[in-house]
Amino acid sequence: MVLTNAVDTHGVVPGGRCRLSHIVVPRVEIGRWLVGPTRYTLAVFEPGSSRSRAGFYESSTPFAAISVGDAVHPGGWHKQGPPSYLRATEVHHYLEERAGHVSHLVTVYTEEVVLR
């Protein structure tokens, strides 16, 4: 794609940036596609639940990899009783591209492990 001194018909301005109404957002070229910054979201669910969240985090940078069997310690999970932690039982990744922005959602399903 050749960029001119003016905004082209795709809303791309010189310097690899995209105009979104009055906001200019940095863009990167991947192959032939121009995409905006990726938004990373991590949702950790309460033990045995797919609805009740133990923690929810958003970042402009990727989170460290979480695998099945990993210990997870969400800051929002408050449990009374014997000391325990959450262990990842399932990890799902969801990728979405909408209006030039990429979202990467990671959902972590857990079980409780009581320390003895």
Strand ranges inside 1-116, DSSP E: 12-13, 17-20, 23-26, 28-30, 33-35, 38-47, 53-59, 71-72, 84-98, 101-114
Query: Quick check: 13 and 5 in contact, CB under 8 A?
Result: no
Over the stretch 55-104, which tens digit does the pLDDT of each residue have? 999 999 999 999 999 999 887 667 777 778 899 999 999 999 887 788 99
Q: Return the higher-pLDDT residue of 25 and 116.
A: 116
**Cα–Cα nearest to 89, from 72, 69, 106:** 69
How many CA atoms within 13 Å lie on the side-chain side of 93? 10
Residue percentage of the chain with pLDDT more than 70? 67
